[in-house]
Amino acid sequence: MNLSSMDFTVLNITETRLSAKWDLSIRIPGDLSGYYICLQGDVQTSLLYKNVTLATSSPQKYYNLQPGWPQLLMVSALVSDEDISGSIGKNIVEDIKNQKEVQFESRFSLTDCREETIGVINYACREVTLRFEPGSEMKAKVFGKHPKCKRFFLDHQ
């Protein structure tokens, strides 16, 4: 499982705060669709910076995954300046202004179709570097390798 793409678009920026739109595409391998991951269900994602959760999307429905075929799920979320403020916001703004890139992690959960489970499968994706377009502090895309995502277990699983 990996992230096919991640885009981060800054909507508003000050010295210590920013608001942004975050879009990602998750590649679901064909061997997971239908047995582990339901063909219809919910996907929910979280955006993290240095192990701090900045935002979690609302659960978003997906439909008609095809068993045996790799597919993409697309998820979007808005990150408000209340989510990214204070020292975290200042660090992200400094990364954007000084390095023209920022590193984020993602986590997501998908509806689990196996019997006797808690109903979701959780995945954590390695840190990804998002580089801003030349001359811009507004739009960033994945730079380098697309991160792999591995299943992880919460304490209550």
What's the distance, CA 37 to chain centroid? Answer: 18
In the chain, domain spans: 2-152
pLDDT at 155 over 70: no
Q: What is the pLDDT of residues 48-83, one digit of tens each?
A: 999 999 889 999 999 988 888 889 999 999 888 877
Q: What is the pLDDT of residues 3-16, one digit of tens each?
A: 899 999 999 888 87
Taking the CB of residue 39, how many other CB atoms lie within 10 A of it? 15
Instruction: Give, in words, the CATH class of 2-152.
Output: mainly beta
Q: What is the pLDDT of residues 104-135, one digit of tens each?
A: 999 999 998 887 777 899 999 999 999 998 88
Question: How much is the pLDDT for 157?
Answer: 44
Please provide the size of the chain in residues.
157
Question: How much is the pLDDT for 156?
Answer: 47
Taking the CB of residue 136, how many other CB atoms lie within 10 A of it? 12
The pTM of the full predicted model, rounded to 2 decimals, is 0.86
Q: What is the pLDDT of residues 75-105, one digit of tens each?
A: 999 888 877 878 888 899 899 989 999 999 9
Q: Residue 99 carries which side chain, given as an amino acid letter?
A: Q
Mean pLDDT of the chain: 88
Question: How much is the pLDDT for 107?
Answer: 94
**Which of 108, 116, 106, 105 has its CA nearest to residue 41?**
108
